[in-house]
A and B are shown apart, each in its own frame.
With several copies, the nearest count.
Chain A
Amino acid sequence: MRTLIKFENIVKEFDGQLVLKGINLEINENEFVTLLGPSGCGKTTLLRILGGFVDQTEGKIFFEDIEISNVPAYKREINTVFQKYALFPHMNVFDNIAFGLHIKKQSKDIIQQKVNKMLRLVGLDGFEDKMVTLLSGGQQQRVAIARALVNEPMVLLLDEPLGALDLKLRKEMQHELKKIQKEVGITFIYVTHDQEEALTMSDKIVVINNGEIQQIGTPIDIYNEPENRFVADFIGESNIIEGFMIEDYQVMFDDKKFECVDYGFDDKESVDIVIRPEDIDIVTPEMGMLKGIIRSSIFKGVHYEMSVETEYRDFIVHTTDYTEPGKEVGLHFFPEDIHVMYKMGTY
């Protein structure tokens, strides 16, 4: 895969506040990349800098190895699906989608043909004459995607495009977006704060917090081997425990030693440990590595979510078998389920 876009030390200051603190990032051709982080983390600003709507304070952007930092938005081979769609309210569906082609002065026939193809792709054939303000949220969303894709950009930017839709529709559109990306075969850069969305759609996830990249990796990397406490907490529910390394393959927390698969830390180095709720098994008190009492047990559909009170902390445990609150149980987990991470400077 060829590198398509390269951010080099991007810094952005708004009113004296650092929104982006030196972002370095490479994005490949045909990748589905998600910028994931809580609101205000700078992910949308990074996208808007790439789109050309905001200028970076420092740093350079390269597109196919050519610097585009000073190229105005309307000359970049990038199109955007905006957060609230930003459809032109005074035009119908056809004219909205055809806007970019009209600007490029393409012939009527070609415009007609390309727009019709797009309408089919997003499943809106027959809607060309409707005013966009008459469409439902999901339909407006599709028009916004079609309006961007019809220009055959090399990169499509999507700024929380599903935020305004309700749960059921959001899940449907997730699959559809992924399908469209595969069909048109271009790079998608997707901004969201929803970790489920990120896991479902992405080839590569970039976790951002406080204007800094926390981790870059595939969904599996990010979920299974979070690099720090923030990533572990943000991607799915977690038990996060402070402890320290005794030696390679041995970690200590809650006054007990545990075997683990991590190594290369300093001796006695303080670390954060993550154990996913679904990796903890409920066993008899004698069999457990830690003992505790079940405080609550909530049915969640696929699993029960239990809160188990141990001597030092409450553990969240996901299990498919019901155990009643009040019972004393043991907690068991395997060495590979203990994820040891470097401590963060700030959190």
Chain B
Amino acid sequence: MSTFRNLVKPYMLWMGIFIIIPMLLIVFYAFTTKGNDVITVKFTMDNFLKFFDSVYIKVLLKSLNIALITTIVCIILGYPVAYIIANTKQKTQTLLMLLITIPMWINTLVKTYAWISVLSDNGIVNSFLAKLGLAPITMMYTDFAVTLGMVYNFLPFMILEIYTALAKLDRSLIDAGNDLGANKLQIFQKIVFPLSLSGVISGITLVFLPSVSTFVIPKLLGGGQYMLIGNLIENQFITVGEWNFGSAISLIMACIILISMYFTRKFDQDKSENGNKKEVKHA
């Protein structure tokens, strides 16, 4: 056992280095000029200052905006689905949740191409409109198409999280509400909805954060000119070869994500803390 003990510290040190080094490299790139290598270093803040140019800030704002809309639409569409499923029989619940989660296991790329064939100028919707003698609608390469693709991709996660929160809701609270004179609508407003909020928050984490930085969906449904922050990072690395600027942007994104994580977690902890304190009291 003592030899095992002695190995703990070096092992953790090596794992730490393994995990940290690429992070440090990203930071290094972000704060240095192009063409440097580790030996001849020139530190600079230019990469960050460049980002605060109005063009890039606009891209960031557009990304945040689309991600926000996606999240809201996912909540609006997903909550009723989760609520209805949670109120069916146990067996139906399992089956329906299985159906809802199947798209999660299909490659995003493939799902997005399926939407192209629905939305494109000679796609399913427009073929259908033509049959009805109506004028075609341009849907591809619009905000609508991008948002639709994102909602489709992330909706199952939102439904899953809200459903989980609703499924573990204590039924006796609903009995209690009933007992105290509340009708179904009042029980939903005052008991079920407030207690499912933690699920909505986990859902937001799982939808908002990845939709801010996704690049596959906007590229395919938004077209080559459609630029969100994920595409911007991808371009800097792959097309332009500007690793330094790309690293700086991804650091900025990581900060935004960590800050929003902090706030949602804090909100969640405020609630669960009550539970924890109770534990302590009982001990």
Contacts and interface: CB of A to CB of B under 8 A. Distances in A.
B180 to A, nearest CB: 4
A343 B194 CA distance: 54
B278 A134 contact: yes
A104 B186 CA distance: 11
Main secondary structure of the interface of B (DSSP, over half): helix
Given A74-B181, A89-B195, A133 B278 contact: yes
A99 to B, nearest CB: 5
Interface residues of B, number: 24
Contacts of A87: 176
A80 interface: yes
Given A74-B181, A90-B195, A82 B172 contact: yes
A243 interface: no
Interface string A41-62: 0000000000111000000000
A162 B275 CA distance: 21
A316 to B, nearest CB: 31
Interface in A74-90: 74-75, 78-80, 82-84, 86-90
B91 interface: no
B173 interface: yes
B179 A103 contact: no
**Is the interface on chain A under 10, 10 to 19, 20 to 34, or 35 or more residues?**
20 to 34
A74 B281 contact: no
Nearest to A100: B180
B178 interface: yes
A133 B275 contact: yes
15 contacts: A53-B175, A53-B178, A73-B175, A74-B183, A79-B180, A80-B179, A86-B172, A86-B176, A88-B191, A103-B182, A133-B277, A134-B274, A134-B278, A137-B282, A148-B180
Given A79-B179, A80-B175, A89-B274, 16 more contacts: A53-B179, A72-B178, A74-B180, A74-B181, A75-B181, A86-B173, A86-B175, A90-B194, A99-B190, A100-B180, A131-B274, A133-B275, A133-B277, A134-B281, A136-B282, A148-B179
